Amino acid sequence: MNHDAAPAAVSVAALGKVFRVPDGKGGHTRHTAVDDVGFTVAAGGSLGIVGESGSGKTTIARMLVGLERPSSGSIAILGRDRTAPARRSAERDRRARELQIVFQDPYTSLDPSQSARSAVDEVLRHHGRTTGEQRSARLSELMDQVGLTERQANARPRDLSGGQRQRVAIARALAAEPGVLILDEAVSALDVSIQAQILNLLADIRAATGIAYLLISHDLAVVRQLCDTVLVLRRGRVVEQGPCDRVLDAPAADYTRALRAAVPVPGWQPGHAPAVG
């Protein structure tokens, strides 16, 4: 697939985020969570952002989706600037159609009273699939794409396994037909065998649709399986970045070597890497 003529899926330049944190004495201190971070995700590409807890990974994801406002720098999604918050509902809807996110625990983001089918149908209705016939056809396509049976599609979250709930979350995100999907530790809460199934599913979806992924993870094995490029963060700053195989096989930075050393080498499989930090 040739993406040369397409704008970058994600373009981030000099991104920074500073939080004001209570100091316990009635005042505040400044905590720099993200400091001068820049990266690009090509159309149809896949970037993994890795680092220990507190490295700034999730803060970056939250800024991309609009849950946090950057203190500095710029963000563009599919060639459109979205550094400033959206002021109008039409703009918020457009942004949602361009970029979606799947979180670590889908149970907290799914309505317990809704079936999987209803949760996905709600997104389709909101984003313009107005006729019942259109929505029904697209619903069937999405359920098939993420590997949910008819029974599972009609079940509520409490009646589904963790892997099945994550499939619902992925289907709901895909229902908006985004160009970019952020996966924030999206498989870390799953058993190893289920992780492998979801990762294979995500790889198949990317190949079939040309969607771009930005994967937030502490698990280098997961990043290796799903990503073309990787960015290593430490204390909010970029330590190194580049093609996944080069960075993970021959890291230039001591910190990346330390992260890699935490992964058991024999039979290095997704889900086997311990959390770092």
Rounded to two decimals, what is the model's pTM? 0.87
Parallel, antiparallel or unpaired: strands 46-50 and 229-234: parallel
Examine residue 276 and state whether it is found in any structural domain, yes or no.
no
Three-state DSSP class for residue 191? coil
For residue 3, being part of any structural domain is answered with no
Give CA–CA dist 232/141, Å, rounded.
Answer: 36
**Locate tokens 């400044």: which residue?**
30
Given a cut of 90, whether residue 105 has pLDDT beyond it is no
Alpha-carbon distance 219 to 222, whole Å?
5
Within a domain: residue 269?
no
Residue 21 lies in a domain: yes
The pLDDT of residue 195: 87
pLDDT tens column, 9-54: 999 999 999 999 888 888 889 999 999 999 999 999 999 999 988 8
| Cα–Cα distance, 177 to 96 (Å, whole number) | 9
Q: What is the pLDDT of residues 191-222, one digit of tens each?
A: 888 888 889 999 999 999 999 999 999 889 89
The CATH number given to whatever domain includes residue 61 is 3.40.50.300
Number of domains in the chain: 1
| Residue 272 lies inside a defined structural domain of this protein | no
Maximum pairwise Cα distance, the chain: 61
Asked whether residue 5 is domain-assigned, the answer is no
Q: What is the pLDDT of residue 273?
A: 40
106 in a structural domain: yes
C-beta of residue 21 within 8 angstroms of C-beta of residue 200: no
Return the higher-pLDDT residue of 191 and 168.
168
Q: At 80, is the pLDDT very low, low, confident or very high (cuts 50, 70, 90)?
A: very high
Residues 93-112 have a mean pLDDT of 87
Torsion angle defined by CA atoms of residues 140, 176, 120 and 108, in that order, rounded to the nearest 10 degrees: 140
Q: What average pLDDT does the chain have? A: 88
211 and 178 Cβ atoms separated by less than 8 Å: yes
**In this predicted structure, what is the pLDDT of residue 219?**
87
pLDDT at 264: 57
Q: What is the mean pLDDT of residues 218-228?
A: 91
Single out the residue of 64, 10, 62, 55 nearest to residue 34, CA to CA: 55
> Would residue 2 count as lying in a domain?
no
**pLDDT computed for residue 157 by the predictor:** 93
Domain containing 255: what range?
Answer: 10-261
Q: What is the pLDDT at residue 28?
A: 87
Band the pLDDT of 159: cuts 50, 70, 90. Answer: very high
